[in-house]
Structure 1
């Protein structure tokens, strides 16, 4: 008696696919390891990011950044359309973010501005465009961004000096 569920008229390809499918259960795979951002093997992280619907992925990121982005994906999707989602979309990239809504700065209703602090590194044009895309994806649909300001604080001492010179020129002529 055959254990096949295929009809007698099944093609050879279908029979081969069935044979492979029955042997796949013999491969020891711990699904809890694969589906956890903390324990997933590094070479499988891009696939896990795809499964978690990560909005932005860069293969050049350090391993910990990749794992953090995957961890935050669920919360980002859950809170999309909120200020929290904007923060969670930008801050894992290593930037600080401050969002000001229209009633805070007297702008047009339904608008907001974003200030991004860059800490020690600057922002490339590609990263700037990527930030615009991420913000557009995470923002409330009823809100429109009117400004994206990049702010970089450069620590250091500033020396300022001033001098003044005051006087008069007096010419004395002989008395004629």
Structure 2
């Protein structure tokens, strides 16, 4: 089917035939985070204004991040945004503890450095407890991601791991890749 008028020249007809759009082309999928070719996902991340993007993430995490980019922007400044960003980056099991100011000294909380007694601004502090060990580089990436979506008045006080990759036993190489269970969140 041609869109050219009946009095079109042979040149115009030939030109139309050459530049006719092929609808099987993946170009129509470029705006779809699920169907976009993997090698072009980074362009979609720029377009969707994704705050933290890592080319080393598995394809599944990249597509989840792109699918939820709109919701993250809508929820920015809420604990829901913090949870969504962590889940999209592949950290499925974690606990987010908000408000670290426990003012009562009645023995209900263990004095282990996780809570602050009498600190006035500790209500805006929070910690993240991860179920798996992460590298120092991953910890910095998580900190950046959380700082981008957290409320401005909130401060990450630490990332804690339920399981450390290494124990301090004299046999662990000290090359700066892993910690022994905690990374301070304040930078």
Sort the TM-score into its range (normalised by shorter chain): 0.5 to 0.7
Matched, 1:68 2:79: no
Gaps of 5+ in 2: 1-18, 104-115, 165-187
Q: In 1, Cα distance between the equivalents of 2:160 and 2:127? A: 9
1:174 is matched with which residue?
Answer: none
Q: TM-score, normalised by structure 1?
A: 0.63
Q: Which runs of 5+ in 1 are unaligned?
A: 1-24, 155-176
Q: Output aligned runs, 1:21-170, within 5 Å.
A: 26-28=20-22, 32-95=28-91, 96-102=93-99, 105-106=102-103, 107=116, 108-109=120-121, 110-119=123-132, 122-145=133-156, 147-153=157-163
After superposing on structure 2, the runs of 4+ consecutive aligned residues of structure 1 that deviate more than 6 Å are none
Q: 1:105 to 1:87 in 2, by over 3 A?
A: farther
My pick for the range that moved more, 28-37 or 46-55, is 28-37
Aligned CA-pair RMSD: 2.8
The answer to whether the 8 A contact 1:52-1:70 is kept is: yes
Q: If the length of structure 2 is used for normalisation, what is the TM-score?
A: 0.59
The CA distance in 2 between the partners of 1:92 and 1:72, in whole Å, is: 8
Identify the structure with the greater helix proportion.
1
